[in-house]
Chains A and B, each alone.
Chain A
Amino acid sequence: AQSVAQPEDQVNVAEGNPLTVKCTYSVSGNPYLFWYVQYPNRGLQFLLKYITGDNLVKGSYGFEAEFNKSQTSFHLKKPSALVSDSALYFCAVRGLRGSARQLTFGSGTQLTVLP
């Protein structure tokens, strides 16, 4: 069975500082990894995905994520946080041969960027 762990329920960072939101996964075969962001009372917005290729994936709003196969991690990063980045972030995984209905989401990490 596949799974996703987001070990931090809450991450606080000062505006202008770099941010990292952690994600580790478990899946059979090669992974298909995603990050989504959710603002209050809104749907999830797609940020970025990793299929194959470069381990550093660039996405929307200046976010990037680093795939590490040996550590089975896919941490979300941004060099300089903005107050407007404050939101709930979800990591998700499925097997490369699976389908979207098999996507497993983490429990979410609430990011708060302090002015």
Chain B
Amino acid sequence: SQTIHQWPATLVQPVGSPLSLECTVEGTSNPNLYWYRQAAGRGLQLLFYSVGIGQISSEVPQNLSASRPQDRQFILSSKKLLLSDSGFYLCAWSGETGELFFGEGSRLTVL
């Protein structure tokens, strides 16, 4: 069966520091991968999606970037964090059936 892992689960970082959140998927090949941010008010915002290695599409302009160095690995990064980058970050994958399957999330607090 397919599983998706995210780490770290929680992270507290100072403003201006770098960020790296990792996501890996097991049990499937060539998945479509996604990064979402969930603000405190519940809404889900799609940040990036990827249909293959090295292929990244950004949905909104922001201080973050994404990379996909391997088929089942998706990384969310920032060179310098802003206070507004705080939030709950969710990685997801979708297969042929079209629904999204989410990881457990990474809670980022920028101080």
> Which residues of A are in contact with B by a Cβ distance under 8 Å?
32, 34, 36, 41-46, 49, 88, 90, 94, 99-101, 103, 105, 107-108
Contacts and interface: CB of A to CB of B under 8 A. Distances in A.
Contacts of B102: 36, 43-45
A44 B94 CA distance: 13
Interface residues of B, number: 24
Prevailing SS type, chain B contact patch: strand
24 contacts: A32-B98, A36-B102, A41-B88, A42-B104, A43-B90, A44-B44, A44-B90, A44-B92, A44-B100, A45-B102, A46-B99, A46-B100, A46-B101, A88-B42, A94-B98, A100-B94, A100-B98, A100-B100, A101-B34, A101-B46, A101-B49, A103-B100, A105-B43, A107-B41
A44 B98 CA distance: 15
A88 B105 CA distance: 15
Prevailing SS type, chain A contact patch: strand
Contact of B44 (A34, A100, A101, A105): A105
A110 B86 CA distance: 22
Nearest to B10: A41
B32 interface: yes
Contacts of B34: 100-101
Contact of A90 (B44, B57, B104): B44
B52 interface: no
Nearest to A96: B98
